[in-house]
Amino acid sequence: MVKNLAIIDTYLKSYPHYSEFLAIVKDVFMLRQKTAPWHKENIFSLETAAAVERLSEGKSLVDISRDTFNPVLPRQYFLDLLKITKQPPAEDLRDKLLTGELNYETLVRESSTAYRATHITGEEDDEVYDLLDFLLQESMHPFFALLSEEFKGLVANSEWSRGRCPVCGRETALSFLSSEEEGRRYLFCSQCGLEWPVKRLKCPFCGNEEQKQLGFFTVGDDEKYRVDFCHQCKKYIKTIDTRKISGEVDLEVENLITLHLDILARQEGYF
């Protein structure tokens, strides 16, 4: 899907404290667009029958921690992505991948099991740290997006309502209330771009519907964003009320400019 890059300039104006990060995000999206022609390969070789079976068993189409995939194209994309940031840890990581000291597939597999892959930089610098994780996730994005596009009809029929993405298996961090369907709630996967509808008052992670066990908080008087949490499983999810946003919304960017909400939620003990 072609992204409207001009929208990032709009976000830059509204969120000046994210300007440095958004500049990188813009470079990333530009590179994604530029390299789009060679992102057309299905690196997972998943057949429809297998996809149907997996969904019926409650499994995502791909489980990156176990399934094999052809790493050639995403690895090349990752090497190019790492050139966007001039920070030494990115250059160091690039060198290690090129010399074979680190293996791209292993990095991808391990990042799928932990939100943060500690060995990527080996440093405590959170900013650099998240950035490399973000670039690693991005390296797989076009390939997962292709899969998501191919199987979205199948996924819709499966009535999937979990908090984990039915296509790529990543746990979602973001939900939104639709402006077109009277605030119907959808979950959004930043790894493959899939959106799927869920019940509004239910924890998508543990299925808890006990209203007393569910809560949310907002920051200041900003009603556009809130953090929904569940007392039962201690998980949280950011929710955007798109009815309260005028103009175009880019959910990928929204997920990135709400990192302060992730920090607050974790400080409150949710994960």
**Cα–Cα distance, 57 to 185 (Å, whole number):** 24
Q: Is 55 in the site for Zn ion (CB under 5 A)?
A: no
Q: How many residues sit close enough to Zn ion to count as binding (CB under 5 A)?
A: 14
Cα 161–chain centre separation:
17
| Tokens, residue 109 | 């597999």
With CB under 5 A as the contact rule, the residue among 8, 82, 140, 189 that binds Zn ion is: 189
- For Zn ion, the closer of residues 90 and 251 by Cβ is 251
Q: Is 203 in the site for Zn ion (CB under 5 A)?
A: yes
Distances (CA, A) of 118 to 66, 125, 177: 20, 11, 34
Q: 72-81 vs 19-34: helix axis angle to the nearest 10?
A: 140
HSE-up (13 A, CA, CB side) for residue 149: 11
User: What Rg value do the Cα atoms of the chain yield, rounded?
Assistant: 18
204 to 243, contacts with Zn ion by CB under 5 A? 205-206, 208, 230, 232-233
66 to 125, contacts with Zn ion by CB under 5 A? none
- For Zn ion, the closer of residues 152 and 243 by Cβ is 152
How is residue 172 annotated by DSSP? P
- For Zn ion, the closer of residues 164 and 243 by Cβ is 164
- For Zn ion, the closer of residues 120 and 165 by Cβ is 165
Q: Is 147 in the site for Zn ion (CB under 5 A)?
A: no
- For Zn ion, the closer of residues 85 and 175 by Cβ is 175
**Cα–Cα distance, 269 to 85 (Å, whole number):** 32
Q: Is 165 in the site for Zn ion (CB under 5 A)?
A: yes
Q: Is 228 in a helix, a strand, or coil?
A: strand
**Cα–Cα distance, 26 to 29 (Å, whole number):** 5
With CB under 5 A as the contact rule, the residue among 192, 198, 227, 253 that binds Zn ion is: 192
| Tokens, residue 199 | 């019940």
With CB under 5 A as the contact rule, the residue among 135, 167, 256, 257 that binds Zn ion is: 167
Judged by CB under 5 A, the stretch of 24-32, 51-59, 111-119, 157-165 that binds Zn ion is 157-165
Q: Binding residues for Zn ion, per CB under 5 A?
A: 165, 167-168, 189, 191-192, 194, 203, 205-206, 208, 230, 232-233
